[in-house]
Amino acid sequence: MSLDLRSGACLTCGPDQPHRSHLDGRLRRCLGCGLGWTVADPTVPATAYEEDYFTGGGYDDYFLPAPRRFEAGRRLRWLSSVVGPSVLVEAGCAGGYFLEAARGAGFTVTGVEVSRVAAGFAVERLGVPVRQGYFERVAPSLRADVVCAFHVLEHVDDPRVFLRAAREVLTPGGWLALEVPNIASAAANRLGHDWPGLQPEYHPWHFTPESLTRLLTATGFAVVRRDTAVFRYYMPPRYRLRHARRLLPRDWLDLRSPRLTHPRRGDLLRILARTPRDTRSG
Ligand SMILES: [Zn+2]
């Protein structure tokens, strides 16, 4: 992670746009678009998502089939509301469960994954094709109608570089499906440092609906659909029931609604964006 990138200015709004301290100085927030970035703390080593991610153990949950397949099914239904079976690349595919679901629905899939453990799991256990490496580096050899990146953009060195790489992969009119934590969520405001989506030691970037929309526009995408969901949205029904007493009242308060999705207030921000249909300029 380049320190320069996060010290001075908002990625989208530039050096003339003021920014302020947020969460006792742990973050900076742009006053123009709301984008947040983690202030590098020299006493706390940053933990990058890289080749050895997942090798330390303790990630068994991450590869559990039932919750991951439930999550994959929800994401696939969301994506399928705008695009049918076609060629799909998932950046940061982790254990490959979304690729498995998309392939089952008729998509031709390829994953890109930095972590050797996760990529190996996807290939060996689920039998989905995955290229091990950084998406930004693998991208020039890929072509797709859909690029998905769920919980990737908040980890990358430079989101602009990532998004431009995605744009180059996509065919004209191609779709980009993103999900990131929403620092403008009701729970993020209520919980501050304790909000589970914050993870400043892992996340250099903290997006809001407005800041991600502006960043996408600046990198050549048009946002077509945007909403948010609470964490509970991805929990399988049995788990949701078991934790209902703890989670339901909070979600109700946060969203002011019994639904699990909301235009702005949920923990997770989802965006479907599109490249221009006729030309591939820029
Ligand atoms: Zn900004």
In which band, very low, low, confident or very high, does the pLDDT at 46 lie, cut at 50, 70 and 90? low
Q: How far apart are CA 68 and CA 61, in angstroms?
A: 9
Query: How far does the centroid of ligand 1 lie from the alpha carbon of residue 53, in Å?
Result: 30
- Per residue in 168-214, pLDDT (tens digit) is 999 999 999 999 999 999 999 999 999 999 999 999 999 999 999 99
In which band, very low, low, confident or very high, does the pLDDT at 2 lie, cut at 50, 70 and 90? very low
**Res 45 pLDDT > 70:** no
In which band, very low, low, confident or very high, does the pLDDT at 222 lie, cut at 50, 70 and 90? very high
Query: Taking the model in full, what pTM does it have?
Result: 0.92
**Res 276 pLDDT > 90:** yes
Percent of the chain with pLDDT over 70: 90
Query: How far does the centroid of ligand 1 lie from the alpha carbon of residue 46, in Å?
Result: 23
Query: How far does the centroid of ligand 1 lie from the alpha carbon of residue 160, in Å?
Result: 13
End-to-end CA distance of the chain: 26
Query: How far does the centroid of ligand 1 lie from the alpha carbon of residue 215, in Å?
Result: 9
What tokens were used for 29? 């927030």
Q: How far apart are CA 93 and CA 107, in angstroms?
A: 15
Of 43-47, 141-145, 209-213, 229-233, give the lowest mean pLDDT range: 43-47
Query: How far does the centroid of ligand 1 lie from the alpha carbon of residue 11, in Å?
Result: 7
SS3 content of the chain, % helix, strand, coil (to 5): 35, 25, 40
User: Among 68, 76, 75, which residue's Cα sits nearest to residue 94?
Assistant: 68
Query: How far does the centroid of ligand 1 lie from the alpha carbon of residue 15, in Å?
Result: 9
Query: How far does the centroid of ligand 1 lie from the alpha carbon of residue 4, in Å?
Result: 16
Count CB-CB contacts under 10 A for residue 53: 20
Name which residue leads in pLDDT, 12 or 5. 12
User: Among 268, 152, 161, which residue's Cα sits nearest to residue 215?
Assistant: 161
**Res 233 pLDDT > 70:** yes
In which band, very low, low, confident or very high, does the pLDDT at 57 lie, cut at 50, 70 and 90? low
Mean local confidence (pLDDT), 266-277: 96
Q: How far apart are CA 128 and CA 119, in angstroms?
A: 9
Query: How far does the centroid of ligand 1 lie from the alpha carbon of residue 10, in Å?
Result: 5
Cα distances (angstroms) measured from residue 244 to each of 187, 230, 233, 251, 260: 17, 13, 12, 10, 13
**Res 61 pLDDT > 70:** no
Name which residue leads in pLDDT, 12 or 242. 12
In which band, very low, low, confident or very high, does the pLDDT at 282 lie, cut at 50, 70 and 90? very low
Which pairs with CB-CB distance under 8 Å and at least 24 residues apart come from 190-193? 190/254, 192/23, 193/23, 193/24, 193/26
- Per residue in 108-131, pLDDT (tens digit) is 999 999 999 999 999 999 999 999
Which pairs with CB-CB distance under 8 Å and at least 24 residues apart come from 100-105? 100/69, 100/72, 100/126, 100/128, 101/69, 101/72, 101/73, 101/75, 101/76, 102/72, 102/76, 103/128, 105/76, 105/80
Are 188 and 224 within 8 A, CB to CB? no
In the chain, the largest separation of any two C-alpha atoms, in whole Å, equals: 52
Query: How far does the centroid of ligand 1 lie from the alpha carbon of residue 35, in Å?
Result: 5
Mean local confidence (pLDDT), 56-67: 69
Query: How far does the centroid of ligand 1 lie from the alpha carbon of residue 18, in Å?
Result: 9
Q: How far apart are CA 93 and CA 237, in angstroms?
A: 24
Query: How far does the centroid of ligand 1 lie from the alpha carbon of residue 210, in Å?
Result: 9
- Per residue in 68-79, pLDDT (tens digit) is 999 999 999 999
Which pLDDT value is given to residue 239?
Answer: 82
Question: Which structural domains are found in the chain, ordered by start?
Answer: 33-38+46-274 (3.40.50.150)
Mean pLDDT, rounded, of the chain: 91
Of 4-8, 185-189, 246-250, give the lowest mean pLDDT range: 4-8
Q: How far apart are CA 234 and CA 260, in angstroms?
A: 9
Query: How far does the centroid of ligand 1 lie from the alpha carbon of residue 212, in Å?
Result: 9
Which pLDDT value is given to residue 6?
Answer: 56
Mean local confidence (pLDDT), 77-88: 98
